[in-house]
Amino acid sequence: MLTREQAELAYPDEVVTRAVTRLVRVPGLAKPVALITIDNGHDHTRPSTFGPQGLVSLNAALDAAFAAEPAAIAVTGKPFVFAVGADLSGVEQVASRASALDIAVTGHEVFRRFTDSAVPTFAFVNGAVMGGGLELALACHYRTLSENTAAIAFPEVFLGLFPGWGGTQLLPNLIGPDAAVTVILENALSQNRMLKPRQAADLGMTDVLLGSADFLERSLVWAVGVINGEISVQRKEIDRGAGWDAAMERARGIVQGRTKGASPGATKALELLELARGNDLDAGYAAETEALADVLMTDPLRAGLYSFNLVQKRAKRPAGAPDKSLARPVTKVGIVGAGLMASQMALLFVRQLKVPVVLTDIDQSRVDKGVSYVHDEIDKLGAKGRLTPDGVNRLQALVSGSLDKAAFADADFVIEAVFEELGVKQKVFAEVEAHVSAECVLATNTSSLSVTAMAAGLKHPERVVGFHFFNPVAVMPLLEIVRAEKTDDATLATAFATGKTLRKSCVLVKDAPAFVVNRLLTRFMGGVVAAIDAGTPFEVADRATEPLGLPMSPLVLLQLVGAPVALHVAETMHGAYPDRFGVSENMRKFVAAGKSAVWTWDSSGNQSVDPEVAALWEFGPVELTAEQVRAQVLEGLAEEIRIMLDEGVVAEAQDIDLCLILGGGWPFWLGGITPYLDREGISERVNGKPFLAPGVASVPVA
């Protein structure tokens, strides 16, 4: 275990979490309860984490607690926060495996004191609890949980890590292996899904759920009942045979399906969950310790932390965004179009802005369908208990439809979501401009067309901005905000403020063809399709990118995006950059034939090429290997990113990484596209230099 002096040297910049013990006299107990409070000295906006010094402080607090010979030891957190895990900001400072091993050992030894204590130990989980904080709670004998806890999760696998201070051993032996697979693997690999307090209670992660107003007092009373034998805590019986086998089989499917085996953190979590079957903490903790020391020194973890910092920090302070004081209020929103994308946007606007939203379209049936979609989705939220009946009524009353764009007369923000053709969009904006004020923002959801060209014929082109959502609108966190040639700062500031209110991560991009995500996905997809056209079998080309661990293969992605959309963007990009973006004649025939997918699946899930697709495709004489296809695709991306940076499409390479993580499904553990290309030597080979400075998202020299 680290000493205080060693801990101070390990993370010199650590924001130290202090643990303080006080003795609390509780009616019904002859001895006091030793209550340890975890606090890093900041409010709830900066949750408590554990670095080496925090662990040493917690150990000292335990010394003080045991010395008092209490009736029980309880640990709780500052207001609204229990603890949210290890101090990830200091991981980059871990310079050797020996240092990593010290941190792993210290976490285990301190937390295990709660488990091995002869005195009953309680975790009073009063707020956000994740990662190492959740492991601390699991290490205690008993747990209470506040009903208003905002976040409960093991996010480690999402970052390329795994719960390494007891989580993989304690959780499956508390709630069962299948539920543990859900919490540790499935939720983490589903965009870091959080548990709600009731879900955690139903899984058995807490012994009792208590109200938040007097949570500490009620927790102490509950603890007295346990200590005096008046309350009996029942735990699940764990199936260590067939049930564990089934859970591990499901876990393997999740890891392979979501990561293709490319995330060492997910793979190691799976191994450790299997080891937990023996319920031997000595063996399990030893394995966790060794694995944690290894993973802390790997590229995927450093890459995952790079991704985490992008999403948690850079995304909240968008590069190039104007001063937010310039933003104008948005009190009414107009949406041109009432199709699925437009209806999804309407639902998002009304839920987050809570202002009137009006949809228009070319006929009443389309308008009615769009409004009905939004109303039905609001009803579903009410049925799930996410809205009160009054809330349902209020939101539905804010959504209406009209055939007349005069309904936008008092709108502050109008966005179009019509057919992806420049002439159509120009006409729409001209019609809208005739009805709205000169300050009303005119936004376009175009995925590839020139925003500057859309604004060219308007009286006030300065209030036109790109506002590109990704599908599905409610789920995808990225919003590309496009500054056209004449877009003014007030319009841009309003767009950023609106995007933030919509709870989207906004990135400023230049008005260049297809912006960021679609430009790179088109180059990516173009490389794969070109390899197939040349003569590479569909199977080989589609599996070529599997080692990256992307969420889906290129041809499955094509099916999701829609071949007509992909073809349209490819044609747009070919018109702008004919030397780098081709248009496949086979793809044109594919779309003309009305085909939506290359693959078909039988009832057993076996995949094969659609015979009709195979018949219409014309192959060349050059068959590439999977490695050659992957190299071709990645080298193309390296070239395109360098050109985009030279063109000033975004401020820095980090913004391209952020866009692909949030809008393109690029895995966290790869750390964005540019550090991956740097690590693999592709940036140097293609461009003569890396994208990022040395040491960024990479392992330090031991």
Q: How far is CA 629 from CA 110, 525, 590, 622, in A?
A: 50, 11, 21, 12
Distance of CA 13 to the CA centre of its chain: 27
Residue 111 tokens, joined = 């937390």
Catalytic-labelled residue, pool 135, 186, 480, 640: 135
Alpha helices in 97-208 (DSSP H): 97-116, 131-139, 167-175, 177-181, 197-203
Catalytic-labelled residue, pool 8, 92, 147, 156: 156
Contact 165, 284 (CB under 8 A): no
578 upstream amide cis, omega within 30 of 0: no
Residue 697 amino acid letter: A
Strands 128-130 and 152-153: parallel
| Whether residue 135 lies in the annotated active site | yes
DSSP string, 203-232: HTSSSEEE-STTHHHHHHHHHHHHHTTSS-
Contact 374, 346 (CB under 8 A): yes
What is the phi/psi pair of residue 339, to 5°? Answer: -75, -170
Residue 529 amino acid letter: V
Q: How far apart are CA 450 and CA 460, in angstroms?
A: 16
Burial of 361 (0-12, 13-18, 19+ CB in 10 A): buried
Q: What is the DSSP letter of 90?
A: G
| 3-class SS string, 490-522 | HHHHHHHHHHHHCCCEEEEEECCCCCCHHHHHH
Q: What is the DSSP letter of 78?
A: S
Residue 308 tokens, joined = 């985490």
Active-site residue list = 135, 156
